[in-house]
Amino acid sequence: MTSASPAPAAVLVTLRPLTGDECEIEITSEQLHGRRCIGCGTDHQLVDAGHVYTPTGEAPLGWAVRSCAPCMAAD
């Protein structure tokens, strides 16, 4: 018997992309730490894509995020 892996926990963040408007999105820890594409979740050929900001007690905390080429071109 096999069991399905639970979906990674997602967190709501404010995305400030290199181009385009700021928006709120849900991302996983892997995306937050720049190990997966901010758009589709792949881990191949990632480039810098801007920053996301998580709420904290005093001020938002910024995280550099990455994107794959197809997701970057779609924006």
User: Other CB atoms closer than 10 Å to residue 46's CB: what's the count?
Assistant: 19
Nearest 10 degrees: Cα torsion 38, 42, 47, 49: -10
Q: Tell me, what's the pLDDT at 28?
A: 95
Query: What is d(CA 69, CA 53) in angstroms, rounded to the nearest whole number?
Result: 22
Q: Tell me, what's the pLDDT at 55?
A: 87
Q: Tell me, what's the pLDDT at 39?
A: 93
Q: Tell me, what's the pLDDT at 38?
A: 95
Per-residue tens of pLDDT for the chain, all 75 residues: 555 656 667 889 999 988 889 999 999 999 999 999 999 999 999 999 999 999 888 899 999 999 999 998 886
